[in-house]
Structure 1
Amino acid sequence: MSAQRAITQIEASQAMPADVPLRRIGLGGLLAATARRHPDRIAVIDPADKPDWSGRPAITWTYAAASEIVERLARGLRSWRLPPGSRIGLCLPGSAESALAILAVEAAGHVACLLPVSWDEDRLLAAAQGVALSAILTQARLGSAAPAERMCAVAARYFGLRYLAAFGPDVPDGVINLDRFVLDGPAEAAGGSPPAPAGIVTFVGGDPDRPVYRSGPSVVAAAAAHLAAARVAPSERILSLIGPHDLRGLVTGLGAALVAGATLEAMPLFDGAAFAATLRRPVPTHLVAPAFLERNLAGRDLPAELRSITLVHRAPARFPGRSRVPGGPQALRLDTVIDTMAFDETAILSGRRGSPGDLALVLGKPERLALPPSLMRLHRGIDGRLAFRGQACAATTLQRGSRQDALGETWHDTPYAAVLFAGLATAIDMAPTDTALAGTVPSPEAPASPESVASA
């Protein structure tokens, strides 16, 4: 599915009521669809320095090759005989293994739980217990760290962990070698219909005690909403400096690439010289970077092949000054700059600077949000608190490992409010805590005020 196709679907569904779900498809279904139509298109590119910090070769995967490897990994996971919908932790850097593992867990009918590689043993243990993980996939080596050995220590303290596996080399004793899943013969077609995408679990603010679940179609919907602003074309490259450890990294990276039929190249470990060389590769590129890097990029001569820069903010955050004067202190010498705001693990909101979808305009006046209501709606309560509705933000908190499916027609409140000046948002801050103003989000059946609800 291309970005243009995704945008066409968005435009075609403008009149769709908010409670009509979009097509139920997961990330793996998108990979398989592109692999059938464009098998030689590049799907994932490993960074050139990967052998230095992982001991594994840097590989460029076509869509066809990636689809085959995903099925081989999924076949190995299915051999574990876990109940459908089991939670499998993924503690991997943002390299090809991470992308393929996420897709393989989905293809096996399980829930991928994204565990940041920066977590220590205690946080990993808290997440494993709270989410009730049945298995963990990790990597033997990451620079000077040994994630697989750290997971062995977690397994010794948490007896609910039935399987522990890692990509090599030097996989510790007692840990399943995932490379053997890939190398052990040709992929076999799974019997019957593929399982429905079971979804993912991420953690609010990197807190292992705050897990959030969302369905596979909700992840795809969030990526489609982001692409309405990013407009990545098929065969173009997304160069991401943000790992897929939470919703913002997953949506702007792997999710956006698969929805657009584009290429994903990630840099899990940032190196300035390597980044400069990778950025200047002669291929149409969309850079995804943490918002704080804007000052480093401002005023620099950027490659002609760079189509856009997506600057990813995480609420609470302040929007930087936006001088568009040539040579100005905050002037990015690029026509297309996209601001993306992550509202914890609830919603990802993206908008092009200087366009009608600029986040400063949309957050100042929510009815400007130009997305179909089935995909995303935005509401500002009496106390300024922002809430989201639609399939792109259908998430629910896990309570002691149990969940209820989040519905797109439910309003999802956030603790954040926009700081406004002259009708424009200059920042996102915590909303007032006055209990008299709390709970002002209307029910799905309540009539929407045109001054406060976006229903474009």
Structure 2
Amino acid sequence: MSHAEEIESAAPAPWSGVTLVDLFVSTANLNGQALAFAGFDCGGRVMRRTYAEAAQAVDNIVHRIDEIGLEPGSRVAVAMGASVEAPLAILAVLKAGMTPCLTPTWLPREALSAALQLLGARAIVSVGAVGDVRPAEALRAAAAMLPDGPRFLLAFGDRLPAGVTPLSDALIHSRDTGFVNAFENARPGPRPVLTLDLTPTGPVWRSHAQEMLIASALGVVTRGDLGAADPILTTLAPLTLAGLATGLIPALLTGATLHLHGPFDAGGLLQQLSMMVRPHLVAPAALERGLHQAELLGGAALSSAVLVHRAPARLQQRERPRAKASPIIDVLALRETALLLGPRREDGAADVSLASLRVPDATDGALVTEARVERGRLQVRGEGVSGGSPETGWADPGLVAKLDGDRIVSLDPA
């Protein structure tokens, strides 16, 4: 069995439940004129798409993928930033019956080449530029280093390298369209989503079944009290488990508008917030001090703030918010294996614990994550966990946790 086949086999068997495309098309059918995605495109221009417009754009991208002759089930590397094109590309690859493999745009060429070699991707969907980074050029060079690398490179944006199939015109013809379920003939067999885990021993691809992603996102929706159609503003690109489960998928679950902000700019973020009515903000925990100084954390300007921590993390070193008008949710990303989360305590301390997370409630809800510490190493299992042991279900993300009772106060690589 090849490494790429091992990646696919690590995911749970395909299921007959709701998929990400189902969530998206449900809102497009019920309320197609609602705003789906807003922010900037990869060229820095303001872009807004209703659910109907986004559905037509996704279908246009699917047709372009079909034209290059990829077979359903192919793995497609998706290397995007936090631009409006990113969720459109992910949904299009899934709708085409293929596996989106979410690839960071900032990796050096050698690391990209190693990741692509492990993946065995047939094609790449990317962008011409993300800030000063030129992902399409870097990916073309990385693919050229491989004897059997991806054969096709498609990209959004301007000034694309020679040999790259342009995708931006798939968005131009997607406005003012009457939407009648463009997904009614969607291909069967839901595919997993792959994310790249940069471990100390090298890159590893993690496979996430769609029900696992939805379970993780439900935890964020319930703990953050996200209401139907509440706007979500995220500074995280949908390239990681945390980026998907705190931004794109909660928006699909609630029919909300996903506002994407990137590349990150503090002044631009504050300006974007000033034009929105009580959004749910998703940001890396590294921005907590700046958000605290701007008096946003706990303030009435936000419906909630979701702060994502990655190892090494020091959860006890949090600043007490000045206001308590909105909840703060701490999300601990266990690499690309699972998420643990908990609401901020009254005294300002993060309260991410080993307690089982169940949704919709703690008494009879479905188990999302269960955690324990064995010899200092954190282990997790449940519906929201990727890569658990076939025998026990427990997964070891390679992290060492320090506890105060059941509460996690620090997390470090093993």
Task: Report the alpha carbon displacement of residue 144 of structure 1 after superposing the two structures with TM.
Answer: 3.2
Task: Report the alpha carbon displacement of residue 136 of structure 1 after superposing the two structures with TM.
Answer: 0.5
**Compared CA separation, residues 430 and 127, structure 1 to 2 (3 A):** closer
1:340 is matched with which residue: 320, 324, 331? 331
5 Å matches for 1:220-259?
A: 220-259=214-253
1:126 aligns with 2:114: yes
State how far apart, in whole Å, the 1-side matches of 2:352 and 2:145 are. 50
Higher RCO (Cα < 8 Å, 6 or more apart): 1
- The answer to whether the 8 A contact 1:23-1:217 is kept is no
Q: Equivalent residue for 1:448?
A: none
- 2:63 counterpart SS class: helix
Task: Report the alpha carbon displacement of residue 340 of structure 1 after superposing the two structures with TM.
Answer: 0.3
State how far apart, in whole Å, the 1-side matches of 2:130 and 2:34 are. 29
2:394 is matched with which residue: 411, 435, 452? 411
Task: Report the alpha carbon displacement of residue 22 of structure 1 after superposing the two structures with TM.
Answer: 8.4
Task: Report the alpha carbon displacement of residue 94 of structure 1 after superposing the two structures with TM.
Answer: 1.0
**Compared CA separation, residues 424 and 192, structure 1 to 2 (3 A):** closer
2:101 is matched with which residue: 78, 90, 113? 113
- The answer to whether the 8 A contact 1:298-1:332 is kept is no
- 2:53 counterpart SS class: helix
1:196 aligns with 2:189: yes
Task: Report the alpha carbon displacement of residue 32 of structure 1 after superposing the two structures with TM.
Answer: 0.4
State how far apart, in whole Å, the 2-side matches of 1:407 and 1:299 are. 46
What does the per-residue CA deviation read over 1:230-258, in whole Å, with 9 as the maximum and x for residues that have no partner? 12112211111111221111111111211
5 Å matches for 1:15-54?
A: 24-47=17-40, 54=42
State how far apart, in whole Å, the 2-side matches of 1:43 and 1:409 are. 40
TM value normalised by structure 1: 0.77
Q: Equivalent residue for 2:262?
A: 268
- The answer to whether the 8 A contact 2:330-2:352 is kept is no
Q: Which amino acid aligns with 2:101?
A: C
**Compared CA separation, residues 377 and 144, structure 1 to 2 (3 A):** closer
- The answer to whether the 8 A contact 2:310-2:333 is kept is yes
What does the per-residue CA deviation read over 1:140-180, in whole Å, with 9 as the maximum and x for residues that have no partner? 12333322222221232223311111112222221101124
Q: Which amino acid aligns with 2:396?
A: D
2:153 is matched with which residue: 150, 164, 167? 164
Q: Which amino acid aligns with 1:305?
A: A
- The answer to whether the 8 A contact 1:394-1:408 is kept is no
Q: Equivalent residue for 1:440?
A: none
Count of residues paired in the alignment = 390
- The answer to whether the 8 A contact 1:226-1:348 is kept is no
5 Å matches for 1:300-311?
A: 300-302=294-296, 304-311=300-307
Superposition misfits of 4+ residues, deviation over 6 angstroms: 184-188, 406-409
Q: Which amino acid aligns with 2:404?
A: F
1:175 aligns with 2:168: no
- The answer to whether the 8 A contact 2:295-2:322 is kept is no
Q: Which moved more, 1:235-244 or 1:21-30?
A: 21-30
- The answer to whether the 8 A contact 2:78-2:90 is kept is yes
- 1:354 counterpart SS class: coil
Structure 2 residue runs of 5 or longer lacking an equivalent are 1-11
1:98 is matched with which residue: 86, 105, 109? 86
What does the per-residue CA deviation read over 1:419-445, in whole Å, with 9 as the maximum and x for residues that have no partner? 2235543222456xxxxxxxxxxxxxx
State how far apart, in whole Å, the 1-side matches of 2:24 and 2:56 are. 10
- 2:351 counterpart SS class: helix
- 2:46 counterpart SS class: coil
Structure 1 residue runs of 5 or longer lacking an equivalent are 1-18, 325-329, 397-405, 432-456
State how far apart, in whole Å, the 2-side matches of 1:350 and 1:85 are. 33
Q: Equivalent residue for 2:273?
A: 279
Percentage of identical aligned residues: 32
State how far apart, in whole Å, the 2-side matches of 1:119 and 1:250 are. 19
Rg larger in 1 or in 2?
Answer: 1
What does the per-residue CA deviation read over 1:385-416, in whole Å, with 9 as the maximum and x for residues that have no partner? 332222211347xxxxxxxxx87972223333
5 Å matches for 1:69-88?
A: 69-88=57-76
Q: Equivalent residue for 2:8?
A: none
Q: Equivalent residue for 2:132?
A: 144
State how far apart, in whole Å, the 1-side matches of 2:288 and 2:44 are. 32
- 2:198 counterpart SS class: helix
Task: Report the alpha carbon displacement of residue 225 of structure 1 after superposing the two structures with TM.
Answer: 2.0
State how far apart, in whole Å, the 1-side matches of 2:413 and 2:135 are. 35
5 Å matches for 1:299-378?
A: 299-302=293-296, 304-322=300-318, 324=320, 331=322, 334-354=325-345, 360=351, 362-363=353-354, 366=355, 374-378=366-370
**Compared CA separation, residues 94 and 215, structure 1 to 2 (3 A):** same
- The answer to whether the 8 A contact 2:247-2:258 is kept is yes
Over aligned residue pairs, what C-alpha RMSD do you find?
Answer: 3.0
State how far apart, in whole Å, the 2-side matches of 1:206 and 1:333 are. 37
Task: Report the alpha carbon displacement of residue 374 of structure 1 after superposing the two structures with TM.
Answer: 4.3
**Compared CA separation, residues 129 and 338, structure 1 to 2 (3 A):** same
Q: Equivalent residue for 1:452?
A: none
Q: Equivalent residue for 1:292?
A: 286
Q: Which amino acid aligns with 2:27?
A: T
**Compared CA separation, residues 378 and 133, structure 1 to 2 (3 A):** same
Q: Which moved more, 1:272-281 or 1:419-428?
A: 419-428
- 2:303 counterpart SS class: strand
Task: Report the alpha carbon displacement of residue 360 of structure 1 after superposing the two structures with TM.
Answer: 2.9
Task: Report the alpha carbon displacement of residue 296 of structure 1 after superposing the two structures with TM.
Answer: 1.7
- The answer to whether the 8 A contact 2:284-2:309 is kept is yes
- The answer to whether the 8 A contact 2:128-2:158 is kept is yes
Q: Which amino acid aligns with 1:128?
A: L
1:218 aligns with 2:205: no
- The answer to whether the 8 A contact 2:38-2:258 is kept is yes
State how far apart, in whole Å, the 1-side matches of 2:381 and 2:205 are. 20
Q: Equivalent residue for 1:385?
A: 377
Task: Report the alpha carbon displacement of residue 60 of structure 1 after superposing the two structures with TM.
Answer: 0.9
**Compared CA separation, residues 416 and 157, structure 1 to 2 (3 A):** closer
